[in-house]
Amino acid sequence: MKKRTESYLDLPETVLLELVKQSDQSAFRELYNRYSGKLYGNIKRMTKYSEIADDILQVVFIKIWENRLIIDTDRSFKSFIFQIAQNAVFDNFRREARQHTLNAVTSRRREEREKSESPTEKWLREKEDKAILESAVDQLPPRRREIYQLCKLEGLSYDQVSDMLGVSTSTINDHIVKATKTVKEYLVETRYYTLLLFFLIF
């Protein structure tokens, strides 16, 4: 965070909010400085994890900025922003609950299917899984596809791929993160939840 602008330090909150409504980024930065510490503490107490609290805190202030034109300066801004934070935490809880349910249901169905299927059915399923994954990977740009195949499908380390291709490990990590996101989206679109579960777990 940049150094606080002296001219904004002593401004009344209503004046600060009016400036934010005019898209004054320095005023918004001062608003962040005034509220982020207490908000972060409350969010972390609710979520228990600092990384989640960091993400939710950013979501809260993004929402404030996106909705700055409709801020009601006659209402308590403190109550307003803490309500947004609470709603964001609850949204996160609901997403985690849905994800947990999806994981549990998909895992149970997979176990039940594997117990009941014959060796031939298992072979056909594995062949289908491989074909779907290959289709998902084919959606990637050439360089990203190459890195993804080497790291994820062939099991090479980032260091090995870095030496092989002459690129940094941070570049490799960036490609892997973006490639994994693309593959997940493809599996969701094709409703291929068995493979999707693998990506959610690993």
- The pLDDT of residue 114 is 61
Cβ-based burial of 74 (10 A; exposed 0-12, middle 13-18, buried ≥19): exposed
- For residue 93, the model assigns a pLDDT of 86
pLDDT at 136: 83
Q: What is the DSSP letter of 153?
A: I
Q: What is the pLDDT of residue 187?
A: 72
User: What is the rounded distance in angstroms from the CA atom of residue 129 to the CA atom of residue 118?
Assistant: 16
Distance CA 138, CA 131 (A): 10
Regions in the chain scoring below 50 on pLDDT: 1-4, 121, 123-124, 193-202
Res 201: pLDDT: 36
Per-residue pLDDT at 3: 47
Confidence at residue 97, expressed as pLDDT on a 0 to 100 scale:
80
The per-residue pLDDT for range 25-80, each reduced to its tens digit, is 999 999 999 999 999 999 999 888 888 888 899 989 998 998 899 999 888 999 99
Closest CA to 147 of 173, 120, 119: 173
